[in-house]
Amino acid sequence: MPLVRISLNRRAGDFARRVGDSVHSAMVETLGIPEGDRFQIITQRDPGEIVYDSTFLDIERTDGIVIIQISLVAGRDRDVKSALYASIAERLSADLGIRREDVFISLMEAAPADFSFGNGEAQFAYHLPPHLQSS
């Protein structure tokens, strides 16, 4: 059920969609979400519309930066989150040539009852799906 927002500078062709594919594959692998549980908002910006510090924490960033914000049900431990960050950076690097230094990820955790997937209902408020029962 994660909601993923991806922002990147404008690229030709289906590059942005392929970024989304790589991020989703990493989440399926590391978080155990179902393959069909894909909700993404991908925004391509003109140069200069993404503002970032090019050297924060001594990491050299370029205009190839990809900012990924993932809203998900709370409860995963630090090791799972670290594995997710590493998997996303590795996939984007291997699949699309994105520099690992240019992959910025932010997780936003919320309670299960904080999500509605349609019909005006909080589907996870009373019954968690199997992939969330152990998190």
CATH number of domain containing 109: 3.30.429.10
Instruction: State how many domains the chain has.
Output: 1
Catalytic residue among 2, 47, 129, 130: 2
Reading the block at residue 18, the tokens are 């392929």
**Span 25-37, pLDDT tens digits:** 999 999 999 999 9
- Residue 134 pLDDT: 59
State the pLDDT confidence band at 113, using cuts at 50, 70 and 90: confident
What DSSP designation does 70 have? E
Half-sphere exposure for 104 (CA within 13 Å, toward CB): 22
Q: How many Å apart are CA 100 and CA 104, to the nearest integer?
A: 9
Question: What are the DSSP calls for 116-128, one per residue?
Answer: --STT--TTTT--
State the pLDDT confidence band at 41, using cuts at 50, 70 and 90: very high
**Span 44-81, pLDDT tens digits:** 999 899 999 999 999 999 999 999 999 999 989 999 99
Q: Which residues form the domain of 93?
A: 3-133
Contact assessment for residue 21 and residue 86, using Cβ atoms and an 8 Å cutoff: no
Say if residue 132's pLDDT is above 90.
no
Average pLDDT value for residue range 11-24: 97
Name the residue among 2, 1, 8 with its Cα closest to residue 70.
2
112 flagged as catalytic: no
- Residue 49 pLDDT: 96
For 13, residues 6+ apart whose C-beta sits below 8 A from its C-beta are none
State the pLDDT confidence band at 20, using cuts at 50, 70 and 90: very high
- Residue 61 pLDDT: 98
- Residue 22 pLDDT: 98
Q: Amino acid letter at 41?
A: I
DSSP three-state, residue 134: coil
C-alpha triplet 26, 98, 10: angle, nearest 5°: 105
Reading the block at residue 60, the tokens are 């050299």
Say if residue 122's pLDDT is above 90.
no
